[in-house]
């Protein structure tokens, strides 16, 4: 497991890219577990490349590679669906039109005199006969709509999710075994 060509020493475990050199390997391993199916295939591929970009050359913390894989897929199972939904919601927010941003609340006040029904103030049911109705429709100004959108948009919903995987990798980037030198001549 030691790399005699590494100039900085060696690690006792393999890296993320050693274990998952490409997306197909990652997907096959993921699909072979009970954790599969919690996120779409498209987002699973995006996640692979995000993990590759962040942890590709990082050595895993666990000496048990299978445990590492199950821990990785368990984190996807736990946090992946919420991450996926946040991505979807952010896309929906970004695609709102100017008119949709200006839509506001609608308030309807009904007055009913002698409805013939018994009504309770705790009931959420509507009465069928209405004597008088007041309607208020609120429309936001364009700046108010954009301001609300800016408050709801997040720069990155992915960072929180990707950081969940950090504990699976070595935290201190320091070779765990010494740098080995070859001697010429006598084989020592």
Q: Check if the beta carbon of residue 176 is closer than 8 Å to that of residue 11.
A: yes
- In the chain, the percentage of residues whose pLDDT exceeds 70 is 77
Indicate the average pLDDT of the chain. Answer: 84
- Given a cut of 80, whether residue 17 has pLDDT beyond it is yes
Q: How far is CA 62 from the centre of its chain?
A: 23
| Planar angle of CA 112, 116, 119, nearest 5 degrees | 65
Mean local confidence (pLDDT), 80-99: 94
Structure tokens at 188: 């020592």
**Higher pLDDT, residue 183 or 59:** 59
CA angle 179, 185, 188 (to 5 degrees): 45
Sorting pLDDT into bands at 50, 70 and 90, what band is 2?
very low
DSSP 10: B
Q: pTM of this prediction?
A: 0.73
Q: What pLDDT is recorded for position 122? A: 62
Q: Is the pLDDT of residue 63 over 80?
A: yes
The predicted-structure confidence for 99-110, as pLDDT tens digits, reads as follows 999 988 887 777
Domain layout of the chain by residue ranges: 16-97+155-168
The helix or strand, by DSSP H or E, that contains position 105, with its residue range, turns out to be strand 103-111
Cβ-contact 57, 15 below 8 angstroms = yes
Q: Is the pLDDT of residue 86 over 80?
A: yes
């Amino acid at each position: 497991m030691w790399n005699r060509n590494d100039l900085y020493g060696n690690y006792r475990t393999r890296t993320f890219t050693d274990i998952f050199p490409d997306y197909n390997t990652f997907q096959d391993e993921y699909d072979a577990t009970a954790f599969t199916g919690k996120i779409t295939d498209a987002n699973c591929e995006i996640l692979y490349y995000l993990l590759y970009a962040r942890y590709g050359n990082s050595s895993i913390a666990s000496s048990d590679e299978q445990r590492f894989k199950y821990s990785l897929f368990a984190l996807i199972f736990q946090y992946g669906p919420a991450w996926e939904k946040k991505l979807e919601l952010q896309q929906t927010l970004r695609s709102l039109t100017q008119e949709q941003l200006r839509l506001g609340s609608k308030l309807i006040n009904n007055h009913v005199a002698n409805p013939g029904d018994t009504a309770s103030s705790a009931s959420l049911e509507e009465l069928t006969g209405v004597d008088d109705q007041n309607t208020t429709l609120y429309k936001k100004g364009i700046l108010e709509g954009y301001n609300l959108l800016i408050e709801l948009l997040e720069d990155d919903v992915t960072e929180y999710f990707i950081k969940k995987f950090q504990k699976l990798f070595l935290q201190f980037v320091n070779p765990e075994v010494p740098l080995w030198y070859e001697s010429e001549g006598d084989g020592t």
